[in-house]
Amino acid sequence: MAAPLLETRNLSMRFGGVQPVRSVNFSLAEGELRCLIGPNGAGKSTFFKMLTGQLVPSEGQVLFRGQDISHAYAHQIARLGIGIKTQVPSVFDGLSVRENIWLAANRIHSRERAGNVVDEMLERLGLTGVAERLVGQLAHGQRQWVELGIVLSTDPELILLDEPAAGMTYDEVHKTAQLVREINRSKALIVVEHDMQFIRMIAKQVTVFNQGCVLVEDAVENILRNPLVRDIYLGKQAAA
Amino acid sequence: MNARVLNFLGLGLVGIVGVAFLILTPRLAELDTVLDLTVYMIMAILALSLALIWGYGGILCFGQSAFFGLGAYTYAIAMFNLGESTIPLLLAIALPAAFAALLGYFMFYGRISDVYLGVITLTVTLILFNSVNSTAGPEFHIGVARLGGFNGIPGIPPLNYPGNKAAVIDLEGMFYLSTAALLATYFGLRLLLASRFGRIIVGIRENERRAELLGYDPRAYKLATFTIGGALAGFAGCLFANWGNFVSPTIFGLAQSAQIIIWVIVGGRGTLIGPIVGCIGVQWLSAALGANQPSGSDWWARILANVPLILGIILVAFVLLVPKGLVPTLGEFGLWLVRSRARRVATGLKPKQAEKG
Amino acid sequence: MKLNRRRFLQSTAAITVAGTLGSSAWAEDPINVASIHDLSGGLDIYGKPMVDTLTLAVEEANAAGGLLGRQIKLINYDTQSNMQLYTQFAQQAALKDKVAVVHGGITSASREVIRPVLDRFKTLYFYNTQYEGGVCDRNQFDTGVTPAQTVEKLVPYAMKKWGKKVYVVAADYNYGQITSQWVKKYVTENGGEVSSIDFFPLDVTNFGPTISKIQTAKPDFVWSALVGGAHISFYRQWAAAGMRQSIPMASTTFAVGNEHIVLSPDECNGMLVCYNYFQDLKNKTNEAFVAAFHKRFGADYPNVTELAMGTYQGFRLWAEAVKKAGSIDRMKVIEALETGISIDAPSGKVTIDPPTHHCVLDVHIAEVKDKKLNVLEDFAQQKPSDTAAVCNLIKNPNDNQQYVIKI
Amino acid sequence: MDLIALLAIQVLYAIASLALISVGLAIIFGMMRVINLAHGEFLMLGGYAAIVATSNGINIWIAILVVAPVVVGIIGVIVERTIIRFLYGRMIDTMLATWGLSLFLVGLTTAIFGNTTVGISAPLGSFQIGAYRTSGYTLFVIAVAAVTLGCIFATLRWTRLGLIARGTMQNADMAAALGVNPPRVYAITFGVGAALSGLAGAVLAPVSGVFPTIGVAYVAKSFITVIGGGAAILSGTVSAAALFGTINQIATFATTPVFGEVALLATAIVLIRLLPQGITGRFFRRGL
């Protein structure tokens, strides 16, 4: 089997007393699509933050293509080719949709090239209509799309999606799922999601987080059957 | 598209007005008016320097006067030692820029942000004030130039045409120079902001974390912005030292740095023309209030001629009522007018169509 | 509407009447005189009284029929303790108002800002403040006292009274620096020693450490050249530390900002000062002046300060010269002044010293007693010998600089 | 030996006065994230309040300890109601508004009281330490500082208002969660902060005198102290005041007031560079 694209070796995070992530060993192959599930506070977002350099791990390593990036700055990691769509859309509210995408495309493309890339991306995400609107004025769903567009425009090797379907209508969810699959043809993804239907639509392999540890890792159908998962996760959801 | 057209129209307008002002003023206005306008132009450059780093770079700098003062002092000291103004002028830009770069590195690479930036910059300018203020003794001199402490350095030799000591730039010359410099700065900054760099610093202002996750290093961009701002302020300082032929430590003082912030606030953050307007407006006002003091003890007259009082009210009023600043608000008002006009026209048309149909 | 028109007609009528009256009353338009002083900000303590006396002087002159049959218009600028405005207003006064003379400037800094501007635009300049001396400029006249006129007198007096060991505390700028040098000179000349000279920026308010230092030095008396509102706290803390009884104090800056009125008697009684003018001087001119001043600005007016009187006398000297020259033309007035014009002023006889453009005047030593300044000794007609040592505008009229007098 | 004692007192005094002039600002900043640039003028008004009161025959102690804080406290509440409350969450705008307010107050006091420095002479004579004499009032200032900080501690620790206060310091929504209406808390907080500033101004009036522009001398220092101290009101102010006060005073005694000042400011810069969240942002986080 080929060397993994991304690998973490007993990665841990500690804030004072609490320890949201505990020695996680995780591995993702080139071009793989992996789903990350687990109840709130299982450490998924913290995990993502460490992968993208927003947090420096207290222990352990993050290897991207065998290179240790656990102490790299966020912008360096981004340049290595890891993009993230955060849970709460993080976009440039004061700028127009076009400018948002442009800022991303501009980093990797020449000035004239960037222009075209932006147009294509707007087209692809169906944002052409609102291209000149300020992102701050858009609806939540659309902001999600804009952020996705930003991430894609930097053309990363690995894309982290933190709850891409959150707060979306049913057909928006569908659209997103389609897009994710389409993206996956060329790129590796890690998707954090609660929405089981969405997961069914996209996932093959699923990793379950619980209390900062990897609980199980298995094919989606087995996971859905796994009673343990049901208890700690679906059970909770059902209760909620 | 439309926005872009308006944008170009605006630029053109500013250009035309600016040049007209540059050419006509000395022919039409009294000499003293020209002299006043000269200093307003110079201060407007200072205002622009803060407009860049605060309004666009999102860096709250309470110590812009530090670079302004450094520029002025550098020019003065170099001038007394060299006597020919080309190198002093360049120094007056380079030194503050270097200082800004140093300070910026210290702050941004130390991940210091918002209020803390404010405090550090404020503190720096206060340190400069205190230090320079206590150099009255004869032992404090750089080359032949006495620093002069509280009294400052009077009788600074004016700029001369590069290379020729004798050809000193006269009062009108100073006006042309300052106004031209202001226009150049304005259009220079417009270019800068339209460039990749400009768009990126605005992006960083909007959402630093996101910019970082896209692979931009905010620290570097902020540092660059801060340095440019420092250079501009230094240049303004040099011109200022020329205009009054003196410089004193109050240039580093709290009042001075505060004033710069007022200009930007009143004129409008996130615009360039705004701070220019704010700067000229506020300065003109405090000069007008200061002149023609009532020479009596009439209480109300005293109130009305009481400059801090009036300025204070203006500032509070602006923050409460016109938080965006003069220019953006007027802009919006203008747009609103146009729109409602358009609407009225549209509604006016409807019945006609009805008749047709 | 109709009513409005009637109103309108009435008012216009009124205006025209007033207009004709005005024009008929005065053959020519008034003579402009500019006052450029700090009326707000840190230095207004000094500026306010100066402008008040100047106002009175102008009003008196106008009441007496003006100068050369023309009324005098006082144009009053507030520089808000801001150097930039000094330049701007000096330019306005010279170019826009076309004033015959500018009275103004408080700190030496502000003077050095105004001076070149008024030189450039050929406008006569009176600097009416007590200062460190040494300015030599044909376009400028200085009516304030300089160290040689006051320090020279007060030092030996104080040393005779208290002893030979002196500790100097001074404001950290030109005036303080130079004055303290003069103090040192005269102290050593009189066989005493200056144990230390400490300088304080004008915004310092905490003198605790210094007071301890002075206690360790144990001088016979302290010489204060402190200036401005903040420095008043020195006297307070000095008294609060119980030092006033044990170590006395002399000064040529105290009371210029009415410190002796601000402070309570037991904070500054017994302090010695030396100036050209004291409000309680016993002579006809002064009593008349004080009466007039109180009539104009209220009997509760705290005190007419040294600087205020300097300004008053400055205007009077200029007016005298204008009469003599029969013109307000700058050079004519300067020449008139250079004949050594003198006036009978509230402070006694004041005469322009032609070579230095400073004044020959009386000085008095006084003691602070219960918010009053009791004159102890008078010294008639003191010459500005310090400036005279370096400056002679009769020999070389084109000299134009401030000398740092070698001490 | 007795010189050491004297120095010790002066260092203590420096710390005390720094803490006094900063604590009002600290409360307002710590609880409302509002940086009040009119703080210096609140101190100035406190001074004037005390002086006017005494000159109208009110006992000096009452004037300083009661009248001044009450008057300035009321002014504070008025300011909060008329200006600050429109600007919550807009830190920069608040700074600018309050700074406009400070100009306004300076202008107003000048118009009313004129420009001459006024003051009251320090009561409580002086006392002897070995060969040295020093002002008894110095000790009074230290005492007032101690008591004030003590009261604040007690309030925060044991009263309901204190609980709410600590809540708001931890997170702003907490006050609402505790079922009190934030507007009232804010108004009270601002009033209290202003009152403390008034007290400080009055206490220091006999030492440094009062004039309309004296606020400038205070505001930068207290501003720096508060930011240097960090979010925690008490521990922050005290620790920062202790650090800056000591350095300032010793440097002053060893060299000149200027270097004292510069030393203080330089320390502040280094401090903020090392601990961007202020002293308490780093150490005793849970401090009051």
| Cβ–Cβ contact A207 with B under 8 A | no
Q: Do the Cβ atoms of D103 and B309 come within 8 Å?
A: yes
Q: Do the Cβ atoms of D96 and B314 come within 8 Å?
A: no
Considering all CA atoms of chain C, what is the largest pairwise distance in Å, rounded to the nearest integer? 89
Q: Do the Cβ atoms of C112 and B290 come within 8 Å?
A: no
User: D243 and D267 in contact (C-beta within 8 Å)?
Assistant: yes
| Cβ–Cβ contact A95 with B under 8 A | yes
Q: Do the Cβ atoms of C45 and D211 come within 8 Å?
A: yes
Q: Which residues in chain C have Cβ-Cβ distances shorter than 8 Å to D14? A: 206, 208
Chain A neighbors (3+ CB pairs < 8 Å): B
Q: Which residues in chain B have Cβ-Cβ distances shorter than 8 Å to A92? A: 203, 206-207, 210
Q: What is the 3-state secondary structure (H, E, C) of B93-161?
A: HHHHHHHHHHHHHHHHCCCCCHHHHHHHHHHHHHHHHHHHHCCCCCCCEECCEECCHHHCECCCCCCEC
- Among A85, A67, A66, smallest CA distance to A76 is for A67
Give me the residues of D, 246-265, that contact C with CB < 8 A.
Answer: 249, 252-253, 256-258, 260
CA contacts within 13 A on the Cβ side of B32: 17
Mutate to test the interface with B, among D25, D86, D104 (most CBs of B within 10 A): D104
Burial class of residue C213, CB neighbours in 10 A (0-12, 13-18, 19+): middle
Q: Do the Cβ atoms of A103 and B211 come within 8 Å?
A: yes
Tokens of B250: 């109050």
ipTM of the complex, rounded to two decimals = 0.81
| Cβ–Cβ contact C208 with D under 8 A | yes
> Nearest residue of C to residue B31 by CA position?
C95
Between C313 and D111, residue with greater pLDDT: C313
> Nearest residue of D to residue B254 by CA position?
D216
Q: What is the 3-state secondary structure (H, E, C) of D23-60?
A: HHHHHHHHHHCCCCCCHHHHHHHHHHHHHHHHHCCCCH
Per-residue pLDDT, B356:
39
Q: Which residues in chain B have Cβ-Cβ distances shorter than 8 Å to D268? A: 119, 123
Q: How many CB atoms lie within 10 A of CB B96?
A: 31
Q: Do the Cβ atoms of C55 and B295 come within 8 Å?
A: yes
Name the residue among C40, C45, C236 with its Cβ closest to that of D119.
C236
User: B64 and B72 in contact (C-beta within 8 Å)?
Assistant: no
- Among D22, D3, D21, D19, smallest CA distance to D201 is for D21
Q: At what angle do helices D233-254 and D136-158 cross, to 10 degrees?
A: 160
Domain that holds residue A105: 37-239
The pLDDT tens digits for B55-110 are 999 998 888 999 999 999 999 999 999 888 899 999 999 999 999 999 999 888 88
Name the residue among B196, B205, B213 with its Cβ closest to that of A74.
B213
Element spanning A238, H or E: helix A236-239
Check whether A212 has a pLDDT greater than 70.
yes
CATH code of the domain containing A230: 3.40.50.300
Is there contact between A and C if contact means ≥3 C-beta pairs under 8 Å? no
User: Helix or strand or coil: residue D247?
Assistant: helix
Per-residue pLDDT, C9:
41
Smallest Cα distance from D122 to chain C, Å: 6
Is there contact between B and A if contact means ≥3 C-beta pairs under 8 Å? yes
> Nearest residue of D to residue B263 by CA position?
D96
Smallest Cα distance from A136 to chain B, Å: 11
Question: For tokens 């995400």, what's the residue?
Answer: A125
Is there contact between D and B if contact means ≥3 C-beta pairs under 8 Å? yes
Delimiting residues of CATH 3.40.50.2300 domain(s) in chain C: 31-145+280-360+398-402, 148-275
Q: Which residues of D touch B (CB under 8 A)?
A: 35, 83, 86-87, 90-93, 95-97, 99-108, 110-111, 216, 219-220, 223-224, 227, 256, 258, 261-262, 265-266, 268-269, 272-273, 276
Per-residue pLDDT, C36:
93
Tokens of C115: 């001076």
Q: Give the Cα separation of D254 and D280 in Å (integer).
A: 29
> Nearest residue of B to residue A52 by CA position?
B213
Between C20 and A92, residue with greater pLDDT: A92
Q: Which residues in chain D have Cβ-Cβ distances shorter than 8 Å to B312? A: 100-107
Check whether A96 has a pLDDT greater than 50.
yes
Q: Give the Cα separation of A149 and A146 in Å (integer).
A: 5
Q: Give the Cα separation of D219 and A233 in Å (integer).
A: 55
The pLDDT tens digits for A156-176 are 999 999 888 877 788 888 888
> Nearest residue of B to residue D100 by CA position?
B312
The pLDDT tens digits for B242-278 are 988 889 888 888 778 888 988 998 888 888 999 999 9
Name the residue among B205, B212, B214 with its Cβ closest to that of A104.
B214
Tell which phi-psi region holds residue C270, choosing left (phi > 0), alpha (psi between -120 and 50) or beta.
left
Q: Do the Cβ atoms of B213 and A91 come within 8 Å?
A: no
Give me the residues of C, 62-121, that contact D with CB < 8 A.
Answer: none
Per-residue pLDDT, B139:
79
Q: Which residues in chain A have Cβ-Cβ distances shorter than 8 Å to B207? A: 90-93
Smallest Cα distance from B254 to chain D, Å: 8
Weakly modelled stretches of chain B, pLDDT under 70: 1-3, 292-305, 344-357
Class in CATH terms, C31-145+280-360+398-402: alpha beta
The pLDDT tens digits for C140-170 are 999 999 988 999 999 999 999 998 999 999 9
Tokens of A215: 């609980």
> Nearest residue of A to residue B205 by CA position?
A92
Mean pLDDT of A46-54: 90
Mean pLDDT by 10 residues, chain C (407 residues): 42 41 54 88 80 93 91 88 83 90 90 90 93 91 91 91 92 87 91 90 80 87 87 85 86 86 84 91 91 90 89 94 92 92 92 93 91 88 89 88 79
Q: At what angle do helices A97-108 and A111-125 cross, to 10 degrees?
A: 130
Per-residue pLDDT, A179:
87
Domain extents in chain D: 2-218
Domain extents in chain B: 35-253
Q: Give the Cα separation of C401 and C385 in Å (integer).
A: 17
CATH architecture of C148-275: 3-Layer(aba) Sandwich (3.40)
Q: Which residues in chain B have Cβ-Cβ distances shorter than 8 Å to C201? A: 130, 133-134, 150
Q: Give the Cα separation of D128 and D135 in Å (integer).
A: 9
Check whether D185 has a pLDDT greater than 80.
no
- Among C117, C121, C142, smallest CA distance to C354 is for C142
Q: Which residues in chain A have Cβ-Cβ distances shorter than 8 Å to B203? A: 92, 95, 99, 103
> Nearest residue of B to residue C80 by CA position?
B290
Question: For tokens 């320390």, what's the residue?
Answer: D267
Q: What percent of chain D has pLDDT over 70?
A: 84
Q: Give the Cα separation of B248 and B357 in Å (integer).
A: 77
- For chain C, the first-to-last Cα distance in angstroms comes to 78
Give me the residues of C, 73-112, that contact B with CB < 8 A.
Answer: 74-80, 82-85, 87-89, 91-92, 94-96, 107-109, 112
Element spanning C136, H or E: strand C135-137
Chain D neighbors (3+ CB pairs < 8 Å): B, C
How many distinct structural domains can be found in chain A?
A: 1
Element spanning D18, H or E: helix D2-32
